[in-house]
Structure 1
Amino acid sequence: MSPESTGQNEHYIRVARRRFRTWRGDRPFWAGLFTILGGAPIAYFPYADLHLGNMTLTMSTTAGAGSLIIGVLLITLGLTMWFHHIVRVFAGIAAILLALISIPVANIGGFLIGFLFALVGGALSISWAPGLPESEQAADEQAAPSSEQPYEERPEAELQGAAAVPQQQGAEFDKAADADGGRHRAG
């Protein structure tokens, strides 16, 4: 064993967990999970039978097909958020609309459980934004001003004049055009 060899002694569970964490970070994972969890009770409750001793309580309604369609669409939208995150805004808006439609159609939105999960999942999907790649993130950190002092507290040498406009390096400026306000005379 040498300290230079990395990854050879890692346990497969640790490797799988790291890969899952990377996969989860590249997409609106929690939005998809909440939307799927919202679609499940909306689709399930109209077809569920509750057994209390010898008595069976059936919660099926005349809108059972509508509940099934809404639930399956919400589950599909949750999977879409995971695997096609480029359409996350559309999927989020559709999830919110389906959650709102489930209130009158699907047993008060799966007894409000499915409604709330789908509503939160749709909102998370709309608000999610992908992070910057590591190369762009490093470039942004380097481009940020190095001094932590506000503009007013910086030394005069760092301000570069009254306007504090950064000068282009290596570019020659037309002094004549600046003298007459930027207007060029023909001739």
Structure 2
Amino acid sequence: MNPQAPVYVRAEDDAWLTMVWYRFYAWRGRRPFWAGLFTLFSGFPIAYFPYADLRLGNLSLAMATTGGAGALIIGILLITLGLALWFQQAIRVFAGVASILLALVSLPVSNLGGFGLGFVPAILGGALALAWVPGQPADEAPADGRSAAVDLGKAETMAGPHGVPGQRDTETPAYASETTAHADGGRNSAG
């Protein structure tokens, strides 16, 4: 999708919906959205299943365990971590590690991590949080004020034959001097 392409709206009623979508799309792109979503949704089955009473006709299945309070705490913490990933991107590494550890603890505490319905999204959300890195917009220049074309040209001039890097601009050539050690035991070849 080209961000500079014109947006054609068929009716006036759709204009606000299009604007809301683009604002959400921009908001989602500046944060670990999918990591937060998976972590947020993983907390619900982990907290729910220890307290659930399933009824199949006259048959009642109670899944209450002694770790019901622990499962509730793990579920609430995962929901909180999911929201924190959306609104506090700076803690993404902590939230990712914490959600993975909470998912692992939920296996023995909360009916195999909510029968896998909470465990798998928590692991996935934690991994996505650890992998997410804030990006730099493509139209921004590097911090030192040079353009990207200058950096590209410099990279091409540094490359030697067959793409092997050559000498950097900051390096001085290795000329023989009295202070450099040589293969002949450190003796100067001139004298």
Q: 1:152 aligns with which of 161, 180, 184?
A: 161
Separation in 1, partners of 2:38, 2:102? 14
Q: 1:142 to 1:50 in 2, by over 3 A?
A: same
* 3-state SS in 2 of match to 1:136: coil
**How far apart are the structure 1 equivalents of 2:30 and 2:178?**
50
Gaps of 5+ in 2: 1-6, 180-191
Structure 1 residues 57 and 163: alpha-carbon distance in aligned structure 2, compared to 1, 3 A threshold: closer
- Secondary structure in structure 2 of the residue aligned to 1:51: strand
Within-5 A mapping of 1:97-136: 97-133=101-137, 134-136=139-141
Instruction: Give the CA deviation at 1:136.
Output: 3.5
- 1:145 aligns to what SS in structure 2? helix
Tell me if 1:83 matches 2:87.
yes
- Number of residue pairs aligned between Structure 1 and Structure 2: 161
Mapped pair 1:142 → 2:142: no
Q: Which amino acid aligns with 1:42?
A: I
Write the distance in 1 (CA, Å) between the matches of 2:57 and 2:134.
Answer: 51
> Structure 1 length normalisation: TM-score?
0.73
SS state at 2:135 partner? coil
Q: What's the CA shift string for 1:105-127, capped at 9, x where partnerless?
A: 11111111211110110011011
- Percent of aligned pairs with the same amino acid: 49
Q: TM-score, normalised by structure 2?
A: 0.72
User: Deviations along 1:78-126, whole A, 9 cap, x unmatched?
Assistant: 0000000111000111101100100111111111121111011001101
Give matches, 1:1-187, under 5 Å. Answer: 11-133=15-137, 134-136=139-141, 141-146=148-153, 151-152=160-161, 163=167, 165=169
Structure (1/2) with the larger helix percentage: 1
Once residues 103 and 69 of structure 2 are traced to their aligned partners in structure 1, the CA distance between those partners, rounded to angstroms, is 16
- Separation of aligned partners in 2, 1:145 and 1:90: 36
Q: Which amino acid aligns with 1:11?
A: A
Name whichever of 47-56 and 87-96 sits farther off. Answer: 47-56
- Measured at CA, do residues 19 and 139 of structure 1 come closer, stay the same or move farther in structure 2, by a change above 3 Å? farther
- Corresponding letter in the other structure for 2:161: E
